[in-house]
Amino acid sequence: MTISLDLPRHTDDTDVYYRRYVGLPTVDFSGKAGHPPGEVAWELGSADLDDFFDAVDTGQVRALVVGGWDADADTVVERLVAGAHRLPALRALFFGAIPQEAQEISWINQADVTPLLTAFPDLERLETRGGMGLRLAPVRHDRLRMLRIESGGLGGEVVRGVAACVFPALEHLELWLGVDEYGGDYTVEDLAPILTGDRLPALKHLGLQDSDRQDDVAAAVATAPIVARLDGLALSMGTLTDDGAEALLAGQPLTHLRRLDLHHHYLSDAMMARLRAALGSVDLDLEGQGDPEEYDGWLFTSVNE
């Protein structure tokens, strides 16, 4: 059964523990079953894994929300991979779903998530939170439809790894690029293979968000071949200014988009008016206008530490 790719309108404003995840109610395992295994998204800490496999008919489980490490994250990946044969119906996995009140996003120790893709060839949705220690090697996955990476700073090695993957079924790609101070040493050039779209023939939504280089990202996107195939584009959560918006207006037409998400930005009133006039048919999200003068010219991303 195909799982939902629906998301809250602003994922940066929403607790990572969604009340509903992939169209299913999210329930806390807490050592007890008590729910139809395939009709809920199971939320559990890594310490719960053994009890979960014992208490639940995991052959029916379609969605897992895993966070709260009791061991290093690579060991948690190993435990999930070792139990992959007991999760044949798994289609959605949020790995590292640790809310801010428990741990700041940039202090979450992550892992090499490549084995999760190789161990679960039927996985349709993979989401991760936290950039520290995150790794993804180039891999081909024929059924993945959504890949989301939430971070306060995404390493260039990870961006290049994503860009080198072959995802023929991927419809939604979302990267929170973040800031250099918290590990975001990516470059705009690292995004080039993504922007050609050669390895992403089914992509419908591209999010390159939360960047302290959002103007440069916007300029690269403005002429990117993949944009003509999209119905959704998100350059939100970052430090977008009039320079980046000018590049978008001067680039290829964007009127084919169903939605352009630019929320959390530093655009002037005049530029917002120009965007609305040029993109009248597009669902244009310009919420969260920041004031560059508020912090003496410093611009901040929505998510960093």
Question: What pLDDT digit, counting tens, does each position of 252-263 carry?
Answer: 999 999 999 999
pLDDT digits (tens, 9 = 90+) for 126-180: 999 999 999 999 999 999 999 999 999 999 999 999 999 999 999 999 999 999 9
Which letter does DSSP use for residue 253 in this model? Answer: -
Taking CA atoms, 169 is separated from 104, 199, 217, in Å, by 32, 10, 24
Picking from 106, 98, 11, the residue whose alpha carbon sits closest to that of residue 304 is 106
Mean predicted lDDT score pLDDT of the chain: 94
Picking from 155, 194, 150, the residue whose alpha carbon sits closest to that of residue 176 is 150
Q: Determine if the pTM surpasses 0.85.
A: yes
Q: What is the DSSP string of 119-160?
A: H-TT--EEEEE--BT-B----B-SS--EEEEE-SB--HHHHH
Biggest CA–CA distance in the chain, Å, is 60
> Containing H/E element for 291?
none
CB 62 within 8 A of CB 24: yes
